């Protein structure tokens, strides 16, 4: 074996050893709790659990977040369903367990979930604390976030008996405690009732959010902006727990996260992918797709109309500041995108059909009403005759693409019979 080959093998072995050591040093933060902290599918966006965004606040090379919080669970039902066993079996020495329950523990009419603050609630929380420690993991207690209930003095405390019980348990068992209820209440009070209702909790106006076209009223769960700001509150509180060496170590891996928001303009005339919460100094790619009858025109900041890019796919490099963008769309039937030439349209007498005369074969045909909504689409029209019996009486624009790639359009009116 020559020296060059021997040197390469030594380098490879050293690289693998370093890689193994790095992976072994990575800790996991497990989150157990209820729907206010859990993960949500894109079909429920903007509903977001605060812990769903937690990874963006940590150095991903040192800390992995595993959010096991589950909708509808109390400290009791989470344990009895075997969810804690799954988490416990995954714990390794040096991991962390963030524990937050109360919303469903309060349900006195539900024996499967209800716990008494001074007894059974403490019993189940104690199980999570003690069994985490047996595995060499560090438990951290979090009081539950408030609901959107207000009085003259501000937002109301929702879980006082449970928060007090958790405080007592933290002292008795020497467990780090984050009073997230108090901290998020303070945050909400600085923002006021109107902002909190409209922009923090998942209260949504109709015809704004594609997943909630009829609107939504929810004073318990958060929308993404609320989850982002509550997560900032929580991570700032973790940094203040400087009497626990293990928490200080975890806090040293907390950094800045920012929000990249992007909405279509006009609303609902396009869809956007790629927005969300990101670690500072990330590269983010957004993609805009127009709905039928519209086309993407440009990206702008939400605050002005200056063009950032005319490419529907936009990549930005973030710093530490939030970014708000608009993807602008316009109706393809309201502009001179294509000429009213190259085709002739006339009715077939005594029928609900149109003759379409062109110089070439039609490879694509679309019909739009005056609102720009697509009412009919065909991939081919071999005999150049179109059945419009399913269309309501009214004014329409027909757009065709010919075999050569030329796109043209014409107008027609379907009259009442």
Q: What average pLDDT does range 65-73 have in this prediction?
A: 98
* pLDDT score for 13: 37
In 49-201 the beta strands, taken as DSSP E runs, fall at 63-67, 96-99, 138-142, 150-151, 154-155, 177-178
- CA 82 to CA 148: how far, in whole Å? 31
Give the lowest-confidence range in 182-196, 238-252, 275-289, 394-408: 394-408
Percent of the chain residues past pLDDT 90, beyond the cut: 69
The string of DSSP codes covering 322-335 is -EEEEEEEEETTSS
Checking if the pLDDT of 9 tops 60, the result is no
Percent of the chain residues past pLDDT 70, beyond the cut: 91
Please report which confidence band the pLDDT of residue 371 belongs to, taking 50, 70 and 90 as the band edges: low
Q: What is the pLDDT of residues 168-196, one digit of tens each?
A: 999 999 999 999 999 999 999 999 999 99
Please report which confidence band the pLDDT of residue 123 belongs to, taking 50, 70 and 90 as the band edges: very high
Helix H, strand E, coil C: the string for 188-255 is HHHHCHHHHHHHHECCECCCCCHHHCCCECCCCCEEHHHHHHHHHHHHHHHHCCCCCHHHHHHHCCEC
* pLDDT score for 229: 98
Residue 139 makes CB contacts below 8 A (sequence gap 6+) with 96, 97, 99, 128, 129, 132, 133, 175, 176
Q: Report which of 54, 71, 46, 56 is spatially closest to residue 224, judged by C-alpha positions.
A: 46
Q: Which two tokens stand for residue 199?
A: 């922009």
Whole-model pTM over 0.85:
no
- CA 114 to CA 103: how far, in whole Å? 10
Please report which confidence band the pLDDT of residue 163 belongs to, taking 50, 70 and 90 as the band edges: very high
Q: What is the pLDDT of residues 189-231, one digit of tens each?
A: 999 999 999 999 999 999 999 999 999 999 999 999 999 999 9
Q: What average pLDDT does range 265-271 have in this prediction?
A: 93
Residue-range domains of the chain with CATH: 13-255 (3.40.50.1110), 260-331 (no CATH), 343-414 (2.60.40.3080)
Residue 340 makes CB contacts below 8 A (sequence gap 6+) with 408, 409, 410, 411
């Amino acid at each position: 074996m020559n020296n060059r080959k021997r040197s390469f093998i030594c380098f490879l072995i050293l690289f693998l050893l370093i890689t193994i050591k790095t992976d072994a040093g990575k800790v996991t933060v497990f989150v157990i709790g209820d729907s206010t902290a859990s993960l949500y599918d894109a079909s429920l966006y903007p509903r977001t659990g605060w812990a769903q965004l937690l990874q963006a606040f940590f150095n991903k090379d040192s800390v992995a977040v595993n959010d096991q919080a589950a909708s509808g669970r109390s400290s009791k039902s989470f344990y009895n369903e075997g969810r804690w066993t799954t988490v416990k079996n995954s714990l390794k020495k040096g991991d962390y367990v963030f524990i937050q329950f109360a919303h469903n523990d309060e349900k006195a009419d539900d024996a499967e979930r209800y716990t008494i603050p001074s007894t059974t609630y403490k019993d189940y929380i104690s199980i999570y604390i003690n069994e985490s420690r047996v595995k060499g993991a560090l438990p951290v207690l979090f009081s539950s976030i408030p609901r959107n209930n207000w009085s003259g003095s501000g937002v109301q405390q929702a879980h006082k008996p449970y928060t007090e019980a958790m405080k007592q348990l933290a002292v008795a068992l020497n467990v780090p405690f984050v009073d997230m209820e108090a901290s998020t209440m303070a945050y909400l009070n600085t923002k006021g009732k109107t902002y909190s209702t409209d922009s923090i909790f998942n209260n949504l106006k109709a015809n704004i959010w594609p997943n909630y076209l009829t609107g939504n009223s929810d004073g318990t769960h958060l929308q993404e902006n609320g989850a982002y700001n509550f997560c900032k509150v929580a991570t700032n509180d973790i940094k203040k727990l400087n009497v626990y060496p293990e928490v200080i170590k975890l806090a040293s891996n907390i950094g800045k996260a920012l929000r990249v928001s992007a909405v279509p303009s006009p609303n609902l005339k396009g869809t956007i992918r790629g927005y969300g919460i990101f670690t500072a100094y990330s590269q983010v790619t957004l993609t805009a797709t127009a709905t039928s009858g519209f086309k993407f025109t440009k990206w702008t900041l939400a605050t002005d109309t200056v063009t950032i890019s005319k490419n529907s796919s936009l990549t930005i490099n973030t710093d530490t500041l939030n970014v708000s963008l608009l993807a602008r769309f316009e109706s393809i039937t309201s502009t001179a995108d294509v000429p009213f030439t190259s085709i002739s349209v006339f009715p077939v007498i005594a029928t609900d059909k149109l003759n379409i005369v062109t110089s070439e074969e039609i490879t694509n045909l679309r019909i739009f009403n005056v609102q720009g909504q697509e009412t009919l689409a065909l991939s081919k029209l071999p005999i150049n005759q179109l059945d419009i019996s399913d269309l309501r009486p009214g004014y329409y624009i027909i757009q065709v693409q010919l075999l050569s790639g030329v796109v043209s359009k014409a107008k027609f009116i379907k009259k009442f019979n």
